[in-house]
Structure 1
Amino acid sequence: MTPLTALGVLGEQIATNNGQSSEVTRLTGYAAGPDLLFKRYKAALDSTDARRLDRLVAFGRSDAAAGRPTREVLLSRTSWPVARVTNHTTATVGCLIPLAPDTFRSPSGGYREIDTLARPDRRLARGGIPPTPEQRITACRSLVGIAAALEQRKLVYSDWNYANAFWSPADYSVHLIDMDGCAEDTGPDIHQPGWEDPLARQGAAADLYTDRYRVALLTARCLTGTRNLAELLHTLTDPPPGVPRNAAELLLDMLWATDREARPRSSTLLAALSGGPLVRFPVVRSPLPPRPAVSRSDTAQPLQSVITRPAKPSVPPRPGVPPVQPQDDWTAVWTGAAVLIAIVMAVLILSLAH
């Protein structure tokens, strides 16, 4: 537990009004070091949540947990909370979290969010060389490794989305943030639009099965570069070159099982992405939704569909005169030419008759 007054003067504000936090600021005068951030909550935690946060902090500091693979993964690949921050009334107003390493920053200085991997190669090619299938697998393996470590500890993360994970183009490793929200077994169902668990009851708490669905959704999107869920499911049934078929089958099981408790564990998906031995149990899936039509944004638009004729101004009809039906320009030209030829022929015939 760290008093808010011990943090000294707060430094640069790097995020505001983000999820459950009102601000995230750098620490400039805190003795623990400049690589920590203060995350201030929008509302003080109740006593139950405060004890949950204390257990997360204790896990990171425990000597008994030292050397365990899951602990090493969580402390090295995530911004694991290091302290609970209280105000003068001892209410929990925030926490201290490590700053993500600079290797996950882009040239512009901001962090490289994983949503850039959830795009097709043709779009990524505009900003440089798109990742190879092997590099996509490496990033997904790093991401799923964190999920498997959390699941082994029976910790529910819930808010898997594009903005909470960073990736490094140097080695395609992944770093996860907002770890202070992890809960044991069940927790608040925090998610962004488009990340709803289709088999969860409305208003139900998030659990390990919720996490499996969202981990699979984020992994599949980054692995294939496809975001639309229906298109993604069809892509996994016939995976593109470089995507392991075992991994594609497991992702389909995790995403489209009729029973949410039949979703395979993240550790099983990790083994498939790592090329290791795979023990897969049959999973009954729901019928796939119809494959969506290719959107115009994903295809080159034909030239004819872009070129349009200017609209003619409409002239209101005069009273007692029926409205003139619009005609094609060339039809009007040929009609006029035919009338002119008829008049000329009539004149010639009359001249010859006289």
Structure 2
Amino acid sequence: MRITGLTVYQVDLPLREGAYKWSGGKSVTVFDSTVVSVQTDAGLTGWGEVCPLGPAYLPAYAAGVRAGLVELGPQLVGENPLELAKLNRRMDAILKGHPYVKSAVDIACWDLLGQVAGLPVCSLLGGRYGEDFGLYRAISQEPPEAMAASVAGYRAQGYHRFQLKVGGDPDVDIERIRAVRAVLQPGDRLIADANTGWTQHEAQRVVRAVRDVDVYIEQPCLTYEECLAVRRNCDHPFVLDEVVDGIDMLVRGKADLAMDVVNIKISKFGGLTKARQARDLCVSLGIGMTIEDSWGGDIVTAAIAHLAHSTPTDFLFTSTDFNSYVTQSIAEGAPQRQNGRLAASTAPGLGITPRLDVLGQPVWSC
């Protein structure tokens, strides 16, 4: 089988809650997502998606995805999409860095591999663990009372994991953490996610002030070194996210005992191939994981579900269902939340069929 062409679509994904807010006053109201189809000489088409969380979260932005695909796509024509390790080496040789650009192509090729094998992607990624898996809900940054009310509402929908967006004024963040913890029950998990928003001294203040609260602390500061300093003065379980962008950081973090949990974002690693490699290393090292991506719609959610459902249950800290946050569906067959839980499709490949009427006209093809 050979790649005969790539087609790129752009689609807007408005948020159900109107806006998503996190540290530093950053917010997004509509996500700019890129969908990629990979066509083959066998008549099969694979589908992928990548959606950065705006231009100010990670070194990735929506227009950059599409610009990178213009560089990358033509040189992939003629390659075998089923030889995923080889294809990833080829993409890295064509375009240095920019892993998020390559993510949708890699996901589309996993979709093709599943179609050819007649198996769901999660079976190819290692096998399905259990009937489903638990999700977290990200809680947009608001005043403490509003965030507590939001958490209570989502708890009633079946969620038991909550990622609280903090990283603002430390005094207000302390109130946010305490207000939300007060509405939770035993067994619920609360993650205070600063998204790099605190300075080191601010982070130290917060973790000391909530020492008696059952809460995970996630990515308090911008750099690994600052996070490690906070970790070494913190009684809480610790999560790293933004600084985890490759295998080297996982090995370093384990050696330094820098974290208990890491967030594996598919597009930050460059697709399912490398995210799986990171996932499997974490299992070997005994590190818990949140399996997710930066953002996305139905196709990203399907890819997340397959990677999460094939992760050993003991190491899957939580995952997410981004398609429930947005108002626009872009594919049929995507997994849908049930009582705060999600399951990967049992159909071959990703198990999705894109809604071409929603995707509209391609913005580029080769």
- In the superposition, the TM-score normalised over structure 2's length comes to 0.23
Q: Which protein is richer in strand relative to its size? A: 2
Q: Mark the structure with the bigger radius of gyration.
A: 1
- In the superposition, the TM-score normalised over structure 1's length comes to 0.24
